[in-house]
Amino acid sequence: MLTSLRIFAVNRQKMSSLYINNMCGCKITTRLRPSKPDVLLGKHYSSLPGLIGNDIKSLHSIINPPIAKIRNIGIMAHIDAGKTTTTERILYYSGYTRSLGDVDDGDTVTDFMAQERERGITIQSAAVTFDWKGYRVNLIDTPGHVDFTLEVERCLRVLDGAVAVLDASAGVEAQTLTVWRQADKHKIPRICFLNKMDKTGASFKYAVESIREKLKAKPLLLQLPIGEAKTFKGVIDIVNKEKLLWNSNSDDGKDFERKPLLEKSDPELLKETVEARIALIEQLQTAIHRVTLALTAVPVLCGSALKNKAIQPLLDAITMYLPSPEERNYDFLQWYNGDLCALAFKVLHDKQRGPLVFTRIYSGTLKPQSAIHNINGNCTEKISRLLLPFADQHIEIPSLTAGNIALTVGLKQTATGDTLVSSKSSALAAAQRAKRREEKQQRQSCEVERLLLAGVEIPEPVFFCTIEPSSWAKQPDLDHALKCLQREDPSLKVKLDPDSGQTVLCGMGELHLEIIHDRIKREYGLETYLGPLQVAYRETIMSSARATDTLDRTLGDKQHFVSVELEARPGETPSVTPVIEYAKSVSRDLLKDSQEAVENGVHNACLQGPLLGSPIQDVTITLHSLVIHPGTSATMISACVSRCVQKVLKKADKQILEPLMHLEVTVPRDFLSPVLADLAQRRGNVQEIQTRQYNRVVIGFVPLAEIMGYSTVLRTITSGSATFVLELSTYRAMNPQDQNTLLSQKSGTM
Ligand SMILES: Nc1nc2c(ncn2[C@@H]2O[C@H](COP(=O)(O)OP(=O)(O)OP(=O)(O)O)[C@@H](O)[C@H]2O)c(=O)[nH]1
């Protein structure tokens, strides 16, 4: 369909240098954009069979390509594996950028997005649309840092396929494993790209072996490298028995002679052979596609993004072997019967255009100037404009069908992770269909969950700190900024400290909170002060206790009377919220009206434990007796229960739980000793030291409280040669000595 299109060009503006270094050594860079000479496409590359010609931009004007021609893919990688460089090359070869960006020069598309941010126009790389040989590819950004694993997970849910970029000199690394597991969870077909084949230490064999051993995946080698490290020149296409060389000086390389079938001497034989060969290759490619979709094997390709080698075959593999949206089995689609069902997977705030919502359409059609119903928010909103996020241009379009990624303008309530349908009645009809087709025993909430695509579990934040504006007058502006940021990022929690009245930010890591702080300044122009970073502890009890409490109060002409007796004991199974039980002696009739108030009281009391005021977990509360006089308000019932729970928790043996982190440090062997000595001082527990080529990988556990600011120390003791990945493993009971030290510190007696 050809339509006249309105194009919003996103301005590129040169900005001054900004460099934020974070805990794990990954970086956000924006620097002055130097003008770079255009680099020619690899001349020796020839396309694989079965694909449409080279008219890369032809689909730019096609708004709704056939669904079979759509690929929604993501690139996942360990820090520094080359995700950005590979993305840059992909955008260049697909024709949407005219010069090659370089992460080391700070002039990549990602950088220009950060520049946009500096100007207050928040256009980030949530998704970039481009076309490759007749296919529409939506490349969805997946952040590489562990602080953003939630964001990775959210993005994975809108992908139909993914490319795992590996550093060929390191093979599978910690973060590759994490995102691989997440992709397993969402059953996403993948291909592996062994990048950095030009790098010293690059080993195709080693990297392939690590896929087999660490990812427990079956590698399907589609290519072999021609040379390794300094001698890397190109790849062999195993399926088509072709050499793809990017070095113009070595164009031969045939080591056996082949006698060609000639048109002149054997026309019939030649025709038959060509047909048979095409059929064979088609069959092979279908088989590769099939096993990739079934997740029984992973096609493996290799190349060097930095040296501009083997990116085009990677693009071909994306379109050939990764699935189209209609090949994915999305269970919930049956409930919608072709009606609109879409997922808002990223919300951005643009100063000019207001909230921009990136949306994946699963079924039905999205149209501007139309109302949609947000199931999570239970609200109806209007989309004013619909845009296609083509690289750095946003194209206004009249409609978009299932399988596509759209950028919507006008949705003011929608938050990241919300499910959008055409109307409330459509949501109800879908719920009815789900109900009818499900077995009767299944609970209503399961049905609703299935209808809501937003099934991402948000992990509890491990860090928190207070945040204050420069003056009280700015507090409403700060509240507004935090509200917007929370809509974008559900892993950011904001609460009010009940004692001090201060605003508290809770996040997934040091970097997460640093970035929030930075964004408040850049995007909302607010100077704020962060309090010291604190670890989110939890509390539990180690013994049972019983207590009673009575509340007898007259307010106005009303008398409120509650008497309660309850017991707290350590929970049998881990649970972050208290398990509530009712003894037989408690009247069921009385409970009918007061159960909600009782449970609110228990939950409120468990938010602040008696030792540090941290949330209580792994506890069971049993209500043994409850007396309520008629006319007593729910607030009074909750207040009495809450007070009694606090009393009983104080009586029991109390225990602080601290976050224990899983740590992986990759360090050159010469620096192993200082790293181990330093970890020993941090109450670290080393489980294993692996050999990875020239490096050693230290794997172990360390309490979060001991690892704050680790990046600076690690950089110093290893001369900047080590990297590390930190991830929450569990909450662990502190030993009595450490617990006493912590309590003394907190109470200021130390
Ligand atoms: N030798 C070599 N270096 C590469 C290659 N691809 C990327 N690099 C370098 O590796 C470093 C990291 O590259 P990026 O593209 O920023 O990697 P990334 O995975 O996006 O990194 P994060 O965003 O920090 O996770 C840069 O210094 C790149 O120049 C490659 O094919 N060969």
DSSP codes joined into one string, 620-636:
EEEEEEEEE-TT--HHH
Q: For ligand 1, is residue 75 a contact (CB within 6 Å)? A: no
With a cut of 70, say whether residue 594 has pLDDT above it: yes
Q: Does ligand 1 come within 6 angstroms of the Cβ of 103?
A: yes
Determine which helix (DSSP H) or strand (DSSP E) holds 210, and give its type and residue range: helix 204-214
Domain with CATH 3.30.70.870 in the chain: 463-536
Lookup: tokens for 673 = 């000793």
Higher pLDDT, 437 or 528: 528
Q: What is the pLDDT of residue 533?
A: 84
82 lines ligand 1 (CB under 6 A): yes
Comparing 25 with 393, the larger pLDDT belongs to 393
Burial 471-508 (b: 16+ CB within 10 A, else e): eeebeeebeebbebbbbbbbbbbbeeeeeeeebbbbbb
**Any ligand 1 atom below 6 A from CB of 110:** no
How confident is the model at residue 120, as a pLDDT? 33
297 appears as a binding residue in the annotation: no
The pLDDT score that the predictor gives to residue 538 is 92
Q: Is CATH 3.30.70.870 the classification given to domain 463-536?
A: yes
Atom in ligand 1 nearest the alpha carbon of residue 305: 31
Question: Which residue has tokens 């694989």?
Answer: 48
Whether pLDDT at 411 is above 80 = yes
86 is in an annotated binding site: no
What SS3 class is residue 277? helix
Confidence of residue 103 (pLDDT cuts 50, 70, 90): low
Q: Kindly give the interhelix angle for 83-93 and 109-118, rounded to the nearest 10 degrees.
A: 100
pLDDT at residue 678 is higher than 70: yes
Residue 494 has pLDDT above 70, yes or no: yes
d(CA 488, CA 126): 11
Are 303 and 235 in contact by the 8 Å Cβ rule? The answer is yes
Quote the CA–CA distance of 439 and 431 in Å, as a whole number. Answer: 14
What pLDDT is stored for residue 650 in this prediction? 94
Is the CB of 199 within 6 Å of ligand 1?
yes
Which has more pLDDT, 688 or 587? 688
Q: Has residue 490 got a pLDDT over 80?
A: no
Helix (H) and strand (E) counts in the chain: 16, 37
d(C-alpha 668, C-alpha 173), whole Å: 15
The answer to whether residue 502 scores a pLDDT higher than 80 is yes
Question: pLDDT per residue over 237-257, tens digit each?
Answer: 887 777 888 755 544 333 444
Q: What's the CA-to-centroid distance between 83 and ligand 1, angstroms?
A: 7
**According to the per-residue pLDDT averaged within each range, which of 272-281, 349-358, 663-672 is highest?**
663-672
pLDDT band of 171, cuts 50, 70, 90:
very high
Q: Looking at per-residue confidence, does 58 or 177 come out higher?
A: 177
Which architecture does CATH list for 540-652? 2-Layer Sandwich (3.30)
Average pLDDT for the chain: 79
With contact defined as beta carbons under 8 Å apart, do 138 and 126 qualify? Answer: no
* Separation of CA 579 and ligand 1 centre (Å): 48
Q: To the nearest whole percent, how much of the chain has pLDDT over 90?
A: 35
The whole-number pLDDT of residue 147 equals 54
The confidence band for 600, taking pLDDT boundaries of 50, 70 and 90, is very high
CA 694/CA 199 separation, integer angstroms: 13
CATH class of 333-439: mainly beta
Mean pLDDT across 168-178: 86
Global pTM reads: 0.66
Question: Taking 60 as the threshold, does the pLDDT of residue 88 lie above it?
Answer: yes
Rounded (10°) CA dihedral 466, 467, 473, 475? -90
pLDDT at 619: 95
Question: What average pLDDT does this structure show over 380-408?
Answer: 85
User: Which atom number of ligand 1 is nearest to the Cα of residue 145?
Assistant: 25
pLDDT at 448 over 80: no
Ligand 1 pocket, residue 305 CB under 6 Å: yes
Instruction: Among 20, 29, 75, 80, name the best residue to mutate to test ligand 1's pocket (greatest count of ligand atoms within 8 A of Cβ).
Output: 80
Kindly report, residue by residue over 53-64, the tens digit of the pLDDT.
333 344 455 778
Contacts of 539 (CB under 8 A, 6+ apart): 609, 610, 611, 612, 614, 615, 616, 617, 654, 655, 656, 657
Report whether residue 195 contacts ligand 1, using a CB cutoff of 6 Å.
Answer: yes
Higher per-residue confidence, 400 vs 490: 400
Mean pLDDT along residues 608-617 = 91
Q: 676 pLDDT exceeds 50?
A: yes
- CATH 2.40.30.10 domain span(s) along the chain: 333-439
The confidence band for 389, taking pLDDT boundaries of 50, 70 and 90, is: confident
Ligand 1, atom 21: closest residue by C-alpha:
80
- The ipTM of this complex is 0.97
pLDDT for the residue numbered 393: 67
Higher-pLDDT residue of 425 and 675 is 675
- Cα of 500 from ligand 1 centre, angstroms: 45
The predicted pLDDT at position 656 comes to 94
**pLDDT surpasses 70 at 52:** no
Cβ neighbourhood burial of 257 (10 Å; 0-12, 13-18, 19+): exposed
pLDDT score at 27? 28
CATH number for the region 67-327 comes to 3.40.50.300
Q: Does domain 658-747 have CATH number 3.10.105.10?
A: no
Atom 25 of ligand 1 has which residue's CA nearest to it?
Answer: 79
Which of 16-20, 156-160, 166-170, 294-298 is least confident? 16-20
Q: What is the dihedral of CA 692, 698, 700, 702, to 10 degrees?
A: -140
Highest mean pLDDT among 189-198, 343-352, 682-691: 189-198
- What are 200-235's pLDDT values in tens digits? 999 999 999 999 998 989 999 988 888 899 999 888
> CATH 3.30.70.240 region(s) of the chain?
658-747
- Looking at the chain, the whole-number percentage of residues with pLDDT higher than 70 is 80
Task: Report the alpha-carbon distance of residue 698 to residue 688 in Å, rounded.
Answer: 6
H or E element: which one contains 731?
strand 723-733
Query: Bigger pLDDT: 545 or 109?
Result: 545
* C-alpha of residue 84 to centroid of ligand 1, in Å: 7
pLDDT in tens, 627-670: 999 889 999 999 999 999 999 999 999 999 998 988 888 888 89
- pLDDT band of residue 118 (cuts 50, 70, 90) is very low
Q: What is the pLDDT of residues 512-565, one digit of tens each?
A: 888 889 889 988 899 999 998 888 899 999 999 999 999 998 888 888 999 999
